[in-house]
Chain A
Amino acid sequence: MTATHEKPEATMTGTQPETVQMNLIQAVTQALREELARDERVVLFGEDVGARGGVFLATQGLQSEFGAKRVFDTPLSEASIVGAAVGMAVRGMRPVAEIQFADYMGPGFDQIISQAAKIRYRSGGQFSAPLVIRTPSGGGVKGGHHHSQSPESYFTHTPGLKVVMPSTPYDAKGLLKAAIRSDDPVIYFEPKRLYRAAKGEVPTGDYIVELGKGVIRRAGTDLTLIGYGGVMPDVERAAEALAASGVQAEVIDLRSLVPWDKHLVLESVARTGRALLISEAPRISNFMGEVAYTVQREAFDALLAPVGQVAGFDTPYPYVQDKTYLPGVNRILREAAQLLSY
């Protein structure tokens, strides 16, 4: 469903330029498999990640391949999953913890914001917690409000954490490998509605996608559409619809929220004069508010219209109104039309 327009500009260290068609969750599995094989300090754990392979099967087969010492189930406790990852990381390991749904990060929240995010800073750099927390997030799968939320802004608001969210299989693999190799704690959100829907070519060799770098999915001159994660297919469809009516929209996928690629966004908006920010998280304190502020503050002279935003609503996520809640192509097009006619 999602076309990958990018060139693999990221570092290629493998000698085989071969690629294989796969979906996003297969790319996650491949990244985990390669990192487990590459570095014995890497371990995977969480609820059901062992024999079952995770509720979405992201870790399927990895326990039988690498053993229960490397890939294991834990008690049903987000506080202990995250907390154990913190303790392992400071003792020199590279834990990759799975939180079954991002909605369940609540019980592990203090471990993330008070321990993982703070250890390097509060100890004056004496200790650090290089861990990865992987978690499926976002809506569109008829999950109701405890299986559909987009809590990324809670974490972008906490200095010390890096926050990433891929939207393509290529990025899913490259960003996850970069996250595991990062010396900082990384919250890695996986847009669950793209797990099987997003397909694309993925190199079979080792490569990373650098954290903090966005990518232009489609070049354009009239308007910049900026999104990340689960909304990207609709953002690209909206750009195609705009193209059919003669409007050339540039599409940016942020990929990383902290740090985020401010220069890529500002350069694009300087060319197009219009910015439309799309995400599915509730609007108040949405991370895109930071992007909007930055664009109006640093590219004000280039703006031909106010910065636009399409977000989720400030309601708990509604089960029945799954599709209405999410920013869809029509809502993106309506907001784009307002900016274009301003």
Chain B
Amino acid sequence: MIQPFTTEPIRRIGDDGTPIGDATPQHSPDALRALWRDMLRAREFDKKLVTLLRQGRTTFYAQASGMEATQVGIARGMRAKHDWIWPYYRDQGIGLALGIPIRDLVSQCLGSNNDLNKGRQMPHHFGDARFNFMSISSSIANQVAPAAGTAMAQKYLGTDEITICTFGDGATSEGDWHAGMNMAAVNGAPCLFICENNQWAISVPVHAQTASENIHIKARAYGMPGYYVDGNDVIAVQEVVQHVADRVRRGEGPALIECLTYRVGSHSNADADAEKFYRTRDEVEAWTSRDPIRRFEAYLDHLGQGIEADERAQLIQDTHAEIEAAVREADASGFPDWRIMFDDVYSDTPTHLRDQFELVRAEQEA
């Protein structure tokens, strides 16, 4: 039913919200509501965090607006707190849908005392051991080979976990991407690689990134199946991720999924004028017309489970209120002092770090 290497992306919902074919999985109304809710929360999280960025409350944020179906579909296709994920830096939608509290994501972006990562990493680089959500590295694609290693460990230890590894289209040009794909394949590691192809690596479009006709076809070179899915169709993404994850879990080796989606906003605050410099308004409008949330709402309408305006407004209001409360909580927790510099460099504190700690202590107490 779900085949690799299709010419067209696998879809379950048409652009107008009409179900495609009769293969649509039977989600309960609650499960459908949960998908909608996760996507809208991710959208609103983006909006609020961009506001915090503009207010100077945080110094970096990478929007994922337009990619909600891909990220929520991935999260709902894996087993939260059981499977492991080596994410890339734009995966707040996955984190939210896995259940990482908004409070913890906001705390990390603000670098407050209640940040699980103790204010060490730049904003928007989460890591949460409770969700097996690996700490995010800024280097492009260097999570790919470690993901292969985590999957190799899962196989060695005899667990039924799998490892999900996500990346953007630009990552597929890095040596580490090829190294990690190859390592996982040769070892038959239970690793599911997922490309969130949002078509732009900062200002370089995917056609200037690779001469391959698409990303998923690269899987052929590594001896694994490559699946092509409409990344703006949350039902399709979830279904394909679940299907392929089951295959990986059965010990049939790693696989690659390409989710074709679009980054509507800028790469980060460094390129706030994306339309002005490197892409056309026509292109952006063409993709915003395929908005994953509106498409899903039309689908719910079609099923007779439509969202009422006040229900939508309430969720937006609740999400904003939750973020605002998280900001207040972060502020109330205070911000880490100089002592955090010297913890967690090693499992113990070597003499030279103790000496440097004392130097700063003397400065601080002077």
Contacts and interface: CB of A to CB of B under 8 A. Distances in A.
Interface string A62-84: 00000001000011010110111
A88 interface: yes
B354 to A, nearest CB: 10
Interface in B203-230: none
A92 B153 contact: yes
B94 interface: no
Interface in B105-126: 115-118, 120-121, 125
Contacts of A182: 347
B63 interface: no
Contacts of A159: 345
Given A88-B153, A262-B351, A122 B179 contact: no
A183 B350 CA distance: 13
A77 B151 CA distance: 17
Contacts of B346: 120, 160, 162, 184
A326 to B, nearest CB: 28
B192 to A, nearest CB: 14
Nearest to B117: A124
Nearest to B159: A91
Nearest to A120: B344
A122 B117 contact: yes
B193 interface: no
A110 interface: yes
B84 interface: yes
Contacts of A262: 351-352
A43 B187 CA distance: 14
Contact of B176 (A79, A89, A124): A79
B84, B144, B163, B347 — most chain A CB neighbours (10 Å) = B347
Nearest to B140: A110
Interface string A248-273: 00000000001110110000000000
Interface in A111-143: 111, 114-115, 118-128, 130
B127 A127 contact: yes
B71 interface: no
A47 to B, nearest CB: 12
B149 interface: yes
B146 A126 contact: no
B135 A111 contact: no
Contact of B142 (A110, A123, A259): A110
A79 B176 CA distance: 6
B149 A75 contact: no
Interface in B163-189: 163, 175-176, 179-180, 182-183, 186
B324 interface: no
A260 B344 CA distance: 18
B128 A126 contact: yes
B343 interface: yes
Contacts of B118: 124-125
B145 A111 contact: yes
A114 B137 CA distance: 7
Contacts of B180: 79-80, 83
Contacts of B157: 91-93
Contacts of A115: 137, 142-143, 146
A89, A115, A127, A260 — most chain B CB neighbours (10 Å) = A115
A43 B117 CA distance: 29
A154 B121 CA distance: 22
B260 interface: no
A93 B153 contact: yes
Given A115-B137, A263-B351, A80 B182 contact: yes
A162 B143 CA distance: 22
Contacts of A69: 156
B154 interface: yes
A151 interface: no
B115 A124 contact: yes
16 contacts: A82-B145, A83-B142, A86-B145, A87-B147, A90-B134, A91-B150, A91-B153, A91-B154, A92-B153, A122-B117, A122-B120, A124-B115, A126-B129, A160-B346, A259-B350, A259-B351
In the A-B complex, the 5 residue pairs with the smallest Cβ-Cβ separation, listed nearest first, are A83-B145, A87-B149, A84-B149, A259-B350, A87-B146
Interface of B: 84, 86, 115-118, 120-121, 125, 127-129, 134-135, 137-139, 142-154, 156-157, 163, 175-176, 179-180, 182-183, 186, 343-347, 350-352
Given A123-B120, A259-B351, 9 more contacts: A80-B182, A82-B145, A83-B142, A83-B145, A87-B86, A87-B147, A87-B150, A115-B146, A260-B352
